[in-house]
Amino acid sequence: MRKTALRLIAILVVSVLALSLLASCANSEDKPEKQTDPNAITIGVLAPLSGSEAYYGNDMLQSYKLAVDEINAAGGVLGRNLVLYEADDGADPNMATQAASKIISHGVDFVVGGYASGATIPTLSLFADEDLMMLISCANSTDITKLGLPQSFMINSPGTHAVVTLTELLKSLGSKKIALIHQGDAYTKNLADICSTELPKSGFEIATVEVMEKNTADVSSIVTNIRNSGADFVYWCGYHADGSNVIKQLRNGGYKGNIAVGDGSASPELITACGKDGEGVYVTSPPFVEFAVGGKEFSDAYSAKFKDQKPGNYATLCYDTIYLLKNAIEQANSIETAAVRDAVQGIEYQGLSGKIKFTPEREPAISNFIVLQIENKAFKLIELDK
């Protein structure tokens, strides 16, 4: 009888412990426990730190780090330090969702980053489900806006702004027939689709739309199609890793017209990879640091911190992202998502990349696109009549 009673007591104790453990697990799933300094404000960073777009991802991360270190040295935000927690999305949708889960599990307060739109888009609903606000520094497909998620803000101007800038460039050059090349993903196809819709409204003819799969070595058929189309202008809507190959094959294949690339190829690495064939190529570019007010001071600080490396083309936007978040938190006097989100929605912040304010759809209200041209192995700023 006594043994039976002891067994019942033991079973009861084990059951209570098991229920406590399950409850603890459930609570941790509802609200992930922060795995860094509990007094810090932790910012998750989603960026391609490996793969073909790693140049951009590491530049993004370093720009965030520079801003965070400056802010912490000046006393932090609401008396609390900022801490970054990065996760590599590889510019790949599957890797990105894994990286997003990693960020969520870490218990961050906010998320920044997002380079490739195709990799960023699948993560946004995951962050929204966890009541996490994301400031998207680089990805700019209008498909982001179409999701209608109130906690996702686009810092980089969308493709609609790029096409306005492209239209100004085309008019200045007297171009008439435009060939478009995209790579079939969320960013590049979105940009090509906007061009196909908007450029004819300004009197331009779309001569041909070509699709190039990523990492395709031989694009001679695309070159032939473009030459046969009579296009006097080619707009590459893809990323720089493949863009240099397209530009070289266009020139080596006898194409004599003007060539421009979108912001996904606005990298000094494009100049290096293209060599002599890159001379004269135009870029509809995000705000390049060397042409920004205060850009020299930023570049000097960046190079001093990161062993003489130079900031890339999204550095200004990423640096501004952290300072915009700082200002919003201070305006809200809180790190609660709803309060900070409302502060971001109404903010007007003058940063390195220009003035940042948002439309009701959480896109930039003011375009930050500029036009560059490769000349003597460097980017030159082109001033266009508006």
Residues 123 and 258 in one domain: no
Range of the domain at 240: 160-285+371-382
Choice between 3 and 292, residue whose per-residue pLDDT is larger: 292
What pLDDT shows up at residue 332? 98
Residues 152 and 299 in one domain: yes
Instruction: State percent of the chain over pLDDT 70.
Output: 90
pLDDT band for 37, please (50, 70, 90 cuts).
confident
- Convert the pLDDT of each residue in 314-350 to its tens digit: 999 999 999 999 999 999 999 999 999 999 999 999 9
User: What's the CATH number where 267 sits?
Assistant: 3.40.50.2300
Q: CB 314: neighbour CB atoms within 10 A?
A: 29
* Separation between Cα atoms, residue 56 and residue 120, nearest integer Å: 14
* Separation between Cα atoms, residue 23 and residue 309, nearest integer Å: 49
Is the pLDDT at 83 greater than 70? The verdict is: yes
Residues 196 and 244 in one domain: yes
Q: Which of 31-45, 254-268, 276-290 has the lowest mean pLDDT?
A: 31-45
What total of structural domains would you count in the chain?
A: 2
* Separation between Cα atoms, residue 68 and residue 353, nearest integer Å: 17
- Convert the pLDDT of each residue in 198-244 to its tens digit: 999 999 999 999 999 999 999 999 999 999 999 999 999 998 889 99
pTM of the model: 0.84
Is the pLDDT at 167 greater than 70? The verdict is: yes
Is the pLDDT at 35 greater than 80? The verdict is: no
Q: Quick check: is 31 in a domain?
A: no
Residues 100 and 139 in one domain: yes
Instruction: State percent of the chain over pLDDT 90.
Output: 83
Residues 230 and 200 in one domain: yes
Is the pLDDT at 264 greater than 60? The verdict is: yes
* Separation between Cα atoms, residue 175 and residue 260, nearest integer Å: 12
Q: What amino acid is encoded at 346 in this protein?
A: G
Residues 61 and 187 in one domain: no
Q: Quick check: is 360 in a domain?
A: no
Angle at 315 between CA 87 and CA 52, to 5 degrees: 55
Choice between 6 and 220, residue whose per-residue pLDDT is larger: 220
pLDDT band for 38, please (50, 70, 90 cuts).
confident
Residues 151 and 164 in one domain: no
* Separation between Cα atoms, residue 38 and residue 128, nearest integer Å: 22
CA-based nearest residue to 352, from 300, 302, 295, 311: 295
Cα dihedral across residues 15, 20, 21, 22: positive or negative: positive
pLDDT band for 36, please (50, 70, 90 cuts).
low
